[in-house]
Structure 1
Amino acid sequence: MTEEQFYPEEDDTLIDEDIDDLLSEAYDDERPPIAININGRVIEAEMPERNIRVTRLDGSTEPSPDEEEEYTTIIINGKEVRVRQDRPIKKRRVKRASKVRTVNGRREFVVQGYQDKVKVGRRSKNLPDLELLQYSELKLPTSEEVNFRARLIEDTMLEFDIDADVVDVRVGPTITQYAVSPIKEVVDENGEPQVIRTRVSKIAALANDLALALSTKTLRIEAPVPGHSYVGIEVPNQEPSIVSLRALLETEQFYQERKHPLAVPLGRDVSGEPVIIDLARMPHLLMAGTTGSGKSIGLRSMITSLVMSNTPDAVRLIVLDPKIVEFSQFNGLPHLIGPVETDPERIIGVLRWATREMDRRYALLEQEKARNIEAYNAILGRRRKDEHMPYIVIFVDEIGDLMMLYPDETEKTLTRLAQKARAAGMHLVVATQRPSTDIITGLIKANFPARISFAVASGTDSRVILDYTGAEALIGRGDMLFLGPDAAGPKRIQGCFVSDEEIDAVVQYWKDWHQEQIEAGKMEEPSTPPWEQAVTRLEALSDLDPVLEEALNVVVQEGQASASLLQRRLGVGYPRAARLIDALHELSIVGGPQAGGKTREVLVRSIDDARRMVKNNRRKQRY
């Protein structure tokens, strides 16, 4: 595919028209494509010869070779458009082993370059320019290196009495997959064809021996590759490549998902093909991996992708970061409902608010008789666009700390959100560096069908997160196994990388944009997050007892208070129930003990009065 740049003349009016539709009607699909850059926007089109005319300076129809390189004239629905032939755009090439030839009776693989299908649709004027992100070329192995390793794999297997051939090679950014066929057809002494079959488990057992022969730190064998009739031996490249986010945002695969607000590039697979996922179809994502394996970078890449493709009225974000330092750069984004929360107690309060917001959204869906958020917004239409509900994506970087400090509350809120929040347009992306059964419980795991495992310490950890082994053989730095909700097995992917400078540039763009909207009167100044009041109340009560707020709700609803009542309703022992009654008495919520063991009187009429009294008592104690 060639790439040209269009320099518009004064009388050209194509910029305000739907150029995509014009090109699709004007060109024939059977001709080789070109990509035209019109005022910074790349358009892919087919250019048949009958629609091309090269105009000489003297007006003749037969151009000279020198002038042919200057301009061509493309006729689009009868309108002539001059196209310059200086090719200012860098070609996006990715190498892959796609050609096999036979030399001296042995297969040889040629690593050929192929071109990513670059296609960028019309972007809203409110969205940041893709130029804010950096593009990096892929460094892939040479044909000599690939063929040397293929022969080494065949020779090593032959030493262990396994006669099998490498039939294909798939070259990726960080690993190369060698396809070994367990079925080989040979000709015996009598000239009769004979089929030699090798057990798949026998090939898989040679992982350590192959790693030794190839002198590699780690090696993973996928036996067999889902959907194929061969075994995949995945060997790390000597020079791993960086997969840039911008390169994937400009691919045709991402363009095809442009109508899905929650579509994000995940990375490139073992053959270099882009992998795009839609969080709305997941509907929730669980990630795990050791320190330094790439979890936080993966989350930062997802957040950057979402804010590059959506305005704040379409997608809102909640970022919960118990690790404190990983996501502070995103503070100030207008997409954030509130600042990045780092305190575990406040994070629990935010998750509680999320469950209440989910219930509120379901009430609105019921009112409009809509099944999900898409149907709800469609029913409202353009006239009630201000009432449209945006998607909410909740990112939690480390649930291990939350599960240690507040295991019951964390599991309860995450499970409830995972079970019901999809239709309400709320989605979870949760990460942990300790994929043990006490962190990723069976209840949490059952409600997160889409999972990603970065490099982990053992096969047991890999089974906990994926139900498959193999993540212990990953090389780290964004190398992952992705298990989709409907996939037959995990898929190996090299994740996207986004630098601090890129994030700073994108966040600064949105800060400036938000300020312009405020000055124009289209948006309001950032206000207190909606969970602030509930979180402050939770902090006041949790200093006394984490269950005190629940005890407060029970006694106000029942209109009476006793230790036996709290035992039954809260499932606590008598000593703790008695302490809760004493604490409520000190806060002037309930009266003193009654004669004859009668229940105590509740001194407040509503839950709001009770909370106000708790706050006043704490203020008196402070001063």
Structure 2
Amino acid sequence: MRRKNFYIARIDKEVEKGKPNEEKPEEAKFRPEPFVSTISGYNVKDKPSFPFIKWNNRGSQYEGLRDKRKISEEERKKVYGTEFYEFASILRPTIDGEPVGVPRDEQEEDEEESGAGLKDLPETDDEYDFLKAIESGKTGVPEFTAKPVEPEDNGVYAAPPKKDPIPSANIYRPKRRKYERPPLSLLKHGEKSQLPDYGNVIMQKEIIDRTLRDFRIGGRVVEYTKGPSVTQFEIKLDPGVKVERVKNISRNLQMNLEGKSIRIEAPIPGKSTIGIEVPNQIRDKVCFGDLISDQRFLNDGNPLNTVLGIDIGGNFVNLDIVSMPHALIAGTTGSGKSVCIHSLINSILYKADPSEVKMILIDPKLIEFACYEDIPHLATPVINDPKLATIALKWAVEEMESRYELFRSYKRRDFLTYNELARENPQVSPLPYIIIIIDELADLMFIAASSVEEYIQRLAQKARAAGIHLIMATQRPSTDVIKGTIKANIQTRIAFAVNSQVDSMTIIDKSGADKLLGQGDMLYSDGVNEIRVQGAFISLDEITAVTDYIKSRYEPDFMFSSDDLKQKLQREESPLDPTEDEYFEVIARDVVENDNASINRIQKAYGIGFNRAQSIMMGLEELGIVSEGVAGRPRRVLVTLEELEAILNNEWKD
């Protein structure tokens, strides 16, 4: 049997319906040759590569990658009437509150079929004439401007208005008036600093080197720096020499240098040398007017960046109260702590608008802050009574809690973020900084130590985020005035000259303040390092000139008055009628039923304090229910239950 050859049938081309099967010449297809690398041969993958960019060729290198032919500018104008036909599709008017749009795919298909890009526009006579002109091949193309479709005002797309929290009714709203700072001409400026006495400096350098050799301490003076009050000599020790050996000869160095006092800083922070600070024979005067005149400092935008003084290197030292955030200032009489406080206050007067900063000045000495009466930067008149000062501190605590509630209602974290919201939203009232300055803390602690300590502790712990800052000064830096609970929350401390190392330890937790020279010479501690600074000096005449200038142009704008403090103090000091206490009737029946008038038992049974229990017992005594208190003997119950009910009924009727 003859076998047939095996073959696979193939249909070269589909026969179109209704047409005879005519063979057409097959179009030649382009088949790219595989890429052959000169190094790797056929192992390199064949990836499409795009031609490099040629500038000023209108993107002709990408013509081979287009799916559709690019239409020239003249063709677009001839067909669509505009060269930007992509933006010709606009939305029709809304139907039932929903916009009707044409998908991009459908739009492109319509454009291909009709060749028009303004399909969504209603047909007008102008458009009909325009198309006729194109068909007839006329060169002139009439201008055609589509009328924009205005959206219907049906409120469908309007977002609901955002409602801000309603601010508290007791928010302080300052008087709006542009603040004009006092002129700098009211302040005095110091003379140019004298040139260093190089002969005296070289002599002191040789004395220090000779003293080190006498005690067989390997080291020598390698550099010196002259400051306003002292000159610092830097000693480089030989390898293996202990730092304590230099400290041990401090008295010998002081004797040989013939100085009032010397201070040894071993080592200098950030250096590998020891510093010996020797007083200058002639001290330079640092004037407040020289430091505040710096325009960069005056216009830095921080109203609480204040003037402090100049360090040994001649650099200006500023005290930023915001980053502080609380400060403790201590020193003996005449050391310069009051002048330092005046420098801080006058820096605020020059830099801060009264609506930005409010101060509470507490002056138990009656004379220190008298010149600041009636300035617009005060939150209340200057307080001289220690009892009213305690009430003012209590108000500050209540204000702090009120501000935290306000921040929570606006979902803000602290004072700065809240005021940022107030600047953006006119309906939100901004809050001012509150600076509490106490000139003599010892007087307050003597009058009401427990209350003052509690209020200061709460403010030091929490008041920073509320924009409330505390600055306290005292001339008696003892542990009964500066207690551990106060020091633990105050990192910034400024120590002026004190009498002993114990006082220095109380202020800055180390010695050194007992070696200061007085008259503005201070140690400024930020909790990490101590910097020796010569404080800026401002005289009483300058302070009076500045405050008189401000008071002549602005009226006082207090947040609360002295009468408010006096009324609050009177309410707290006036004894309440014990019969109005909610526990009075209950405790009276308890005492008579149990025949026991012990204050200690009442405290434990009802969970009340001693003062409240004693007040109720005194009320029972006045009504004749219990006997008088006699030392060493318990009170006796004098009535029965029936007699008690009669007494209580008569009392309520009266």
Confirm or deny a common fold (TM above 0.5).
yes
Query: CA deviation digits over 1:274-297, x for unaligned, max 9?
Result: 111211101100111111111111
Q: 1:158 aligns with which of 213, 236, 239?
A: 213
Q: Which residue of 2 aligns with 1:221?
A: 264
Deviations 1:127-183 (A, max 9, x none): 112222111023464222222211111112212112321111111111111111113
Q: Find the counterpart in structure 2 of residue 167 from structure 1.
A: 222
Residue 403 of structure 2 corresponds to 361
SS at match of 2:497: coil
Alpha-carbon distance between aligned partners in 1 of 2:616 and 2:280, rounded to the nearest angstrom:
62
Q: Secondary structure at the match of 1:380?
A: helix
User: Aligned in 2, Cα 1:471/1:601: closer, same or farther, shift over 3 Å?
Assistant: farther
- For 1:470, the equivalent position in structure 2 comes to 512
Partner of 2:466, secondary structure, is coil
Native 8 Å contact 1:174 1:494 kept in 2:
yes
Partner of 2:439: 397
**1:499 aligned residue (526, 539, 543):** 539
Question: Counterparts of 2:314 and 2:517 in 1: how far apart (Å)?
Answer: 17
CA contact (8 A) 1:332 1:507 kept: no
List runs of 5+ in structure 1 lacking aligned partners: 1-123, 184-195, 516-524, 606-623
Provide the rounded CA distance (Å) in 2 between the counterparts of 1:230 and 1:327: 43
Q: Does the 8 A contact of 2:335 with 2:497 survive in 1?
A: yes
1:422 to 455, 464, 482: 464
Q: Which amino acid aligns with 2:259?
A: T
User: What is the CA–CA distance in structure 2 between the aligned matches of 1:604 and 1:300, rounded to whole Å?
Assistant: 58
Report the equivalent of 1:538. 569
**How far apart in 2 are the matches of 1:584 and 1:287?**
50
Q: Any conservation in 2 of the 1:140–1:172 contact (CA below 8 Å)?
A: no
**Kept after mapping to 2: 8 A contact 1:559/1:602:** no
Q: CA deviation at 1:258?
A: 1.4
Q: Distance in 2 between matches of 1:294 and 1:234?
A: 20
Preserved contact between residue 332 and residue 511 of structure 1 (Cα < 8 Å): yes
User: What is residue 248 of structure 2 aligned with on the other side?
Assistant: 205
**Map 1:429-578 → 2, pairs under 5 A:** 429-485=471-527, 487=528, 489-515=529-555, 526=557, 529-530=560-561, 532-539=563-570, 541-542=572-573, 548=575, 555=581, 571-572=609-610, 577-578=613-614
State which of 255, 265, 276 in structure 2 corresponds to 1:233. 276
Q: Corresponding residue for 1:242? A: 285
Deviations 1:444-500 (A, max 9, x none): 000101111111111111111111111110111111111114x2x211111111101
Q: Could you tell me how far apart the structure 2 residues matched to 1:246 and 1:172 are?
A: 19
- 2-structure distance, mates of 1:601, 1:514: 59
Cα distance in structure 2, aligned partners of 1:225 and 1:584: 69
Give the residue type in structure 2 aligned to 1:538: L
Alignment of 1:318-397 (within 5 A): 318-384=360-426, 387-397=429-439
Paired residue total: 447
In structure 2, C-alpha distance between the alignment counterparts of 1:580 and 1:214, rounded to whole Å = 71
CA deviation string 1:240-288 (max 9, x = no partner): 1221112112337735x81222101111111111111211101100111
Offset of residue 399 of structure 1? 0.9
In 1, are the aligned partners of 2:587 and 2:602 still within 8 Å (CA)? Answer: yes
Q: 1:80 maps to what in 2?
A: none
**What one-letter code is carried by the residue in structure 2 that aligns with 1:157?**
L
Counterpart Cα distance in 2 of 1:552 and 1:329:
45
Match of 1:143 among 198, 207, 214: 198
Q: CA deviation at 1:560?
A: 6.4
Aligned to 2:352: 310
Distance 2:354 2:581 in 1: 42
- Offset of residue 556 of structure 1: 5.8
**Equivalent residue of 1:224, what SS?**
coil
Distance 1:205 1:478 in 2: 28
Give 2:328's aligned amino acid.
L
In structure 2, how many angstroms separate the alpha carbons of the residues matched to 1:601 and 1:127? Answer: 66
Match of 1:65 in 2: none
Structure 1 CA distance for aligned equivalents of residues 428 and 265 of structure 2:
50
- Length-normalised TM-score, structure 2: 0.63
| Alpha-carbon distance change, 459 to 222 in structure 1, aligned in 2, over 3 angstroms | same
Residue in structure 2 matched with residue 251 of structure 1 by the alignment: 294
Considering fraction of residues, name the structure with more strand: 1
**Percent identity of paired positions between Structure 1 and Structure 2:** 36
* Aligned partner of residue 507 in structure 1, secondary structure: helix
The answer as to whether partners of 1:418 and 1:428 remain within 8 angstroms in 2 is yes
Deviation, structure 1 residue 355: 0.7
- Look up the equivalent residue of 2:481 and give its one-letter code: I
Q: Distance in 2 between matches of 1:238 and 1:226?
A: 26
Partners of 1:552 and 1:538 lie apart in 2 by 19
Counterpart contact for 1:380–1:388, Cα < 8 Å: yes
Tell me the TM-score normalised to structure 1 length: 0.66
Between the aligned partners of 2:649 and 2:563, the Cα distance in structure 1 is 28
Report deviation, 1:405.
2.0
Amino acid at match of 2:270: G
Q: Report Cα offsets for 1:64-112 as digits up to 9, x if no partner.
A: xxxxxxxxxxxxxxxxxxxxxxxxxxxxxxxxxxxxxxxxxxxxxxxxx
Partner of 2:102: none
Q: For 2:390, give the aligned amino acid.
A: I
Take 2:649 and 2:493, find their aligned partners in 1: how far apart are those partners?
49
Paired position in structure 2 for 1:133:
187
Distance 1:404 1:149, change over 3 A: same
Look up the match of 2:618: 582
Deviation of the 1:377 alpha carbon: 0.8
1:94-113 alignment runs, 5 A limit:
none
| Change in 2 beyond 3 A, CA 1:272/1:385 | farther
Q: Letter of the aligned partner of 1:495 in structure 2? A: G
Aligned counterparts of 2:582 and 2:311: Cα–Cα separation in 1: 57
Whichever residue aligns with residue 581 of structure 2, its letter is: V
> 1:539 Cα shift?
4.0
2:269 pairs with 1:263: no
| Higher Rg | 2
- d(CA) in 2 for partners of 1:388, 1:553: 45
Query: Aligned Cα RMSD in Å?
Result: 3.3
1:273-330 per-position Cα deviation (integer Å, ceiling 9, x unaligned): 1111211101100111111111111111100111111110011111001121111111
Q: Secondary structure at the match of 1:165?
A: strand
Q: CA deviation at 1:384?
A: 2.2
2-side partners of 1:432 and 1:604: how far apart?
51
Which 4+ residue blocks in structure 1 deviate beyond 4 angstroms?
Answer: 525-528, 551-554, 556-571, 583-587, 592-605
Q: Give the SS at the match of 1:423.
A: helix
Distance 1:604 1:357 in 2: 40
Distance 2:644 2:452 in 1: 36
Mapping of residues 406-417 of structure 1, within 5 Å: 406-417=448-459
Residue 132 of structure 2 is matched in structure 1 by none
